[in-house]
Structure 1
């Protein structure tokens, strides 16, 4: 790992971390200012807004009411009966296999379950990052990143999915079976795993590929046996079209404030839905091409860097991504900060902070936020290529 830190490097890193923590804690304190209905006064929603889906879905499934999850009106009525009639519209959006996690959590009071879920996700991310061998402060910066705070705020699953994605990519060569299991579990949020089969095939990691396929199949069977196989039919027939309609809604929508995708950027530019999908398809093809190049056996790139860059590319490849999905980008910025002295550490600090400002940029109807992960990957790879072809000298150790 690079050791040549200047005083400016250290100052930039510390300032970024302190700024991120102060803004994140500020958001968190504001979020938990509640009104008489238990809703956050700032957003008029439950403070653990997105976690409510996981918990309530698990509760319904444990009581034999799994069908209610896929009936939008009945599901919203159930949520309002559980919490408050003033609860904003909410819908189930996950593959049914997520119920295998939600059902045990639903046996706890929601506040306790929220703490268990949040802490457990951070612990999972901690173990997933260990193969990267980051210094303690950089490791902590990944766990307490701005996008991590977004997960903490609303009880989202970004820390867990980042753990599965980064952990699996890091272990492909050393523990392929475990890597495949992590990838198989990631099918609970499948759009973040679009590049995984490409990477495994390009690298010849067929044991990991088979392990992932077996794990995904077992999750499918376990879900069907636990809740009835019709949950998969209901998901395909009702939830999938509903989520597509939300994705394809006219730009701008309030919920798009946290979006970070090529699809959204195309809609901001005035493209139709078909044009947005075309733009996203081009992005996916380009990401796949980079992934194939990264994961060829003859590519000498350091494996930690390969894993981080691929995890960041996963954000760009997906048409459905939000600020809470950007933990891999923060991890990549932190990893490059400590391992790549030829890159501007001030730039890495800015990339690490960027998730704090996604919603502010989008609120002004400027849909360019997906440029951040694109620029981060481009910058890292371009610098690496300059070194490889001898256009840039090795940095002198200080």
Structure 2
């Protein structure tokens, strides 16, 4: 939070002390939307064209921000680009923050929950970066709130995650193994409508360009052009300590396969319990090689679920220590990575996954004993 205040106070002509634009990544969203309004959405994937629009949005900006998002998200950025850049940024971040607070407050109906929800450091990373993690966290929280009482609506919230499809890859699997068919079909229909709308507006060609662009992202990661200190994936963690690209990928996908296997077994045995949801969200992050620290905003949900579970049933020291680490890590992750060349984010996310699985299994055993 203090870093956010410091950055805002250093802004001059929409540029901070590092000559980067207010909102950082948001300039990519706005610029892609601007190109879509101009009738050339495919130009968002062309470096020279999107840099040209970024200069139009914030003259003097020296940083290049590339576009890697699907046409589903471009539907939203097209609306955002209809108003000037700075107003659009505050509208997007302010609206996303209010949605995040509202959604998590409904999920965690405790008088002090709002304090932890607002104080979580990853929230401010998302706001400073102008990213969309508050939106995705809010959608997941709404889905969990509605899951049992209004399964069709829960599926709608899950389907809307198609604006960032990598966050929804595991959800159909756990819905199938736990036989949550009403949620599954609602999510499938919503996703289909969302994708269909993007096809109607932008055509098939933009989706083809999006899929081709994935190789560009892989190349940028492999060549070390991205900020590794801000990327808490196992792939980047191994790269930072000196392992080769191929080995890091093999180990990452091996770990991801194990996480998916454990998660599916857990949902098969437990169904949609709070601890199953607490395991699902870190699992979603663990399988992604391309992952930035602001996505840790999603961990607000499992951290709060685990904290509530411990408040109700008790917890040992190591469990509480993992929760504390999960809460503070987004604040210190980049600094430790930059100064010491190690990535602490991955082991913390993995520990939260193990903690959630452990408590879920413990609940199953206690139920059997009863």
TM surpasses 0.5: yes
Structure 1 residue 210: deviation in Å? Answer: 1.9
Give the root-mean-square deviation of aligned CA atoms: 2.3
**Structure 1 stretches of 5 or more lacking a match?**
1-23, 391-398
Which residue in 1 is equivalent to 2:36? 61
Q: Structure 1 residues 82 and 337, CA, compared in 2 at 3 Å: closer, same or farther?
A: closer
TM-score of the superposed pair, with normalisation by structure 1: 0.83
TM-score of the superposed pair, with normalisation by structure 2: 0.89
Match of 2:259 among 277, 283, 287: 287
- Contact 2:143/2:158 (<8 A) preserved: yes
- Contact 1:343/1:380 (<8 A) preserved: no
Which residue in 2 is equivalent to 1:84? 59
- Separation (CA, whole Å) in 2 of partners of 1:228 and 1:84: 32
Is residue 237 of structure 2 the alignment partner of residue 265 of structure 1? yes
Structure 1 residue 67: deviation in Å? Answer: 2.8
- Contact 2:107/2:142 (<8 A) preserved: no
Please list, as runs of the form range in 1=range in 2, the aligned pairs for 1:341-352 lying within 5 A after superposition. 341-344=314-317, 345=320, 347-352=322-327
Which residue in 1 is equivalent to 2:154? 179
- Contact 2:229/2:342 (<8 A) preserved: no
Structure 1 residue 69: deviation in Å? Answer: 0.8
- Contact 1:194/1:318 (<8 A) preserved: no
Structure 1 residue 229: deviation in Å? Answer: 2.8
Q: Deviations over 1:4-49 (max 9, x none)?
A: xxxxxxxxxxxxxxxxxxxx2x2112212446553110x3211211
Task: Tell me the secondary structure at the aligned position of residue 49 of structure 1.
Answer: coil
Match of 2:341 among 360, 365, 370: 365
- Contact 1:158/1:327 (<8 A) preserved: yes
Q: Deviations over 1:256-275 (max 9, x none)?
A: 22111111122224333222
- Contact 2:47/2:66 (<8 A) preserved: yes
Structure 1 residue 389: deviation in Å? Answer: 4.8
Q: Structure 1 residues 289 and 173, CA, compared in 2 at 3 Å: closer, same or farther?
A: farther
Structure 1 residue 313: deviation in Å? Answer: 1.7
Which residue in 2 is equivalent to 1:30? 6
Q: Deviations over 1:223-254 (max 9, x none)?
A: 122233321122223x322222222223xx56
Task: Tell me the secondary structure at the aligned position of residue 112 of structure 2.
Answer: helix
- Contact 2:20/2:63 (<8 A) preserved: yes
- Contact 2:72/2:198 (<8 A) preserved: yes
- Contact 1:172/1:208 (<8 A) preserved: yes
With CA pairs under 8 Å and 6+ residues apart, which has the higher RCO, 1 or 2? 1
How many residue pairs are counted as aligned between the two chains? 360
Q: Structure 1 residues 130 and 291, CA, compared in 2 at 3 Å: closer, same or farther?
A: farther
Q: Deviations over 1:36-72 (max 9, x none)?
A: 553110x321121111111121122112132321211
- Separation (CA, whole Å) in 2 of partners of 1:200 and 1:362: 36
Which residue in 2 is equivalent to 1:120? 95
Q: Structure 1 residues 224 and 384, CA, compared in 2 at 3 Å: closer, same or farther?
A: closer
Match of 1:377 among 336, 350, 353: 353
**Structure 2 stretches of 5 or more lacking a match?**
none
Higher helix fraction (1 or 2) = 2
- Contact 2:278/2:356 (<8 A) preserved: no
Task: Tell me the secondary structure at the aligned position of residue 314 of structure 1.
Answer: helix
Please list, as runs of the form range in 1=range in 2, the aligned pairs for 1:21-170 lying within 5 A after superposition. 24=1, 26-34=2-10, 37-41=13-17, 43-130=18-105, 132-170=107-145
- Contact 1:37/1:86 (<8 A) preserved: no
- Separation (CA, whole Å) in 2 of partners of 1:196 and 1:324: 21
